[in-house]
Structure 1
Amino acid sequence: MFEATQEVLVAIWHQDFSVLLAPGSAILIYILVTLFIGLESSFLPAAPLPCDSIVVLTGTLAAVGVLNPVIAFPLLIVAASIGSWLAYSQGRWLNRLPIVQSWLDKIPDASMRTVDTLLTRHGLIALFSARFIPGVRCVLPMAMGMRAQEMPRFHYFSWLSATMWVSLLCGIGFLLPSLPEPISRLATMALMAAPVITLCLAILSFITWRARQAMCRLKPIQKDA
């Protein structure tokens, strides 16, 4: 059993269809892809897991008959939603820690009010967009747990964004086998590279934002000098 699990796990990681198409592997695939999505959506150390490509892979396996879409797609939605709820719960717990409160107290009230407004008004768009960026997928629900205390509203945004995310990526994966092989291969490579690209863009945006903040702080000092 352990060897079979390890074999399927490696096959999912490397997108090895020769192993995944083997009879009897479906149950292990259901379990492992659900765990992947749940862990990556809830815990920051699991951010390197290739969850976007795994969701696409699930759609492809459903298209070729290895998985049942009626079972696989809802499982992924539930895993993503529960993972986001766990991240949200971590944020609520962290918010009670004195050291976290001391960090938040250093942020200007106007900035925190802006954050609260954005999370409240644009929660669905934010959660849906964050699901395409590794790391941010669990950081944003955690931030919502620290700031946005309306749990029913969060659950509504979380489940709806998870449904949209899974439907989109699984739908793409479901269509891949029907495409000509060269186009299918290029599309698969692009989908596998997309999370890395979005992560790099997110990091670059954060660095740019911090650099602008530093420049804004330096300007008054230079004027006084």
Structure 2
Amino acid sequence: MFENIQEVLVALWHQDFNALLAPGSAVFIYLIITAFIGLESGFLPAAPLPCDSIVVLSGTLAAVGVLHPVVAVLLLVFAASIGSWLAFCQGRWLNRLPRVSRWLSQVPPSTLKNVDTLLNRHGLIALFCARFVPGARSITPMMMGARLHDASRFHWFSWPSATLWVCLLSGIGFLLPALPEPLSRVATTGLILAPVVSITIPILALLVMRFKKAPRTSTLASGDL
């Protein structure tokens, strides 16, 4: 079984459709894509997983007959929603830790009130936009878990946003085989690189902010001397 899973993983990475068309491979593909989406949506350390590309590839596999489109979409929506629910539960648990409570107590009450208002009014848009950014897919539900007290309201945000995200990306993947080969290759390359770019930009922004603050800190320290 583990050998079959490894073979399917390699075939998915190389997009080897001939290997993926092998009898019995569809079951392992369903298991792998569901596990990847669930882990990446629920746990921050799984952010490097290329889940956007996996959703697009699932649509392509459905277009060529490897997967059933309805089953693939339902599994991906279920995995994304349950993963977000796990992240939401982590946010509630973190909110109970004394250190986190001390951090929140230092935030002005007006700021926390504005955050709560934004989450309640625009939670669906926030979750939908966050699903396109690796890392934000799990951080945003955590923030909601720390601030939202109505779990049913979170589910109202989570399931529609997951459905829109999966349908949009898998729909793009479903249309790729119908494009001319050069255009399809360019589109596939762009979709694969998009998650890498989206996670690289915030990291670079944080590094730039850190380096900008470093000279100020050293200047203040020398002035005190």
Fold equivalence (TM over 0.5): yes
Q: Map of 1:85-164 to 2, 5 A cutoff?
A: 85-164=85-164
Question: Could you tell me how far 1:206 is from its partner in structure 2?
Answer: 5.2
Q: CA RMSD in A?
A: 2.1
Question: Could you tell me how far 1:208 is from its partner in structure 2?
Answer: 6.9
- Structure 1 residues not aligned, in runs of 5+: none
Corresponding position of 2:80: 80
Counterpart Cα distance in 2 of 1:53 and 1:117: 33
Counterpart Cα distance in 2 of 1:26 and 1:203: 36
Question: Could you tell me how far 1:209 is from its partner in structure 2?
Answer: 7.3
Counterpart Cα distance in 1 of 2:150 and 2:189: 39
Matched to 2:120, the amino acid is T
Per-residue deviation, residues 44-76 of structure 1 (Å, max 9, x unmatched) = 111111000000000000000010011111000
* Alignment TM-score, normalising by the size of structure 2: 0.89
Question: Could you tell me how far 1:136 is from its partner in structure 2?
Answer: 0.6
* Alignment TM-score, normalising by the size of structure 1: 0.89
- Structure 2 residues not aligned, in runs of 5+: 221-225
Q: Map of 1:8-23 to 2, 5 A cutoff?
A: 8-23=8-23
Counterpart Cα distance in 2 of 1:208 and 1:11: 38
Per-residue deviation, residues 150-174 of structure 1 (Å, max 9, x unmatched) = 2111101100000000000000000
Aligned residues: 217
Question: Could you tell me how far 1:114 is from its partner in structure 2?
Answer: 1.9
Counterpart Cα distance in 1 of 2:14 and 2:108: 46
Question: Could you tell me how far 1:21 is from its partner in structure 2?
Answer: 2.3
Distance 1:206 1:116, change over 3 A: farther
Counterpart Cα distance in 1 of 2:109 and 2:49: 36
Counterpart Cα distance in 1 of 2:157 and 2:42: 16
Counterpart Cα distance in 2 of 1:150 and 1:206: 32
Runs of 4+ in 1 over 4 A off after TM superposition: 204-212
Per-residue deviation, residues 117-168 of structure 1 (Å, max 9, x unmatched) = 2111110111000000001100100010001112111101100000000000
Q: Is the 8 A contact 1:30 1:72 kept in 2?
A: yes
Per mean C-alpha deviation after superposition, the further-off stretch among 14-23 and 190-199 is: 14-23
Q: Is the 8 A contact 1:13 1:50 kept in 2?
A: no
Counterpart Cα distance in 1 of 2:150 and 2:205: 28
Q: State the SS of the aligned residue for 1:122.
A: helix
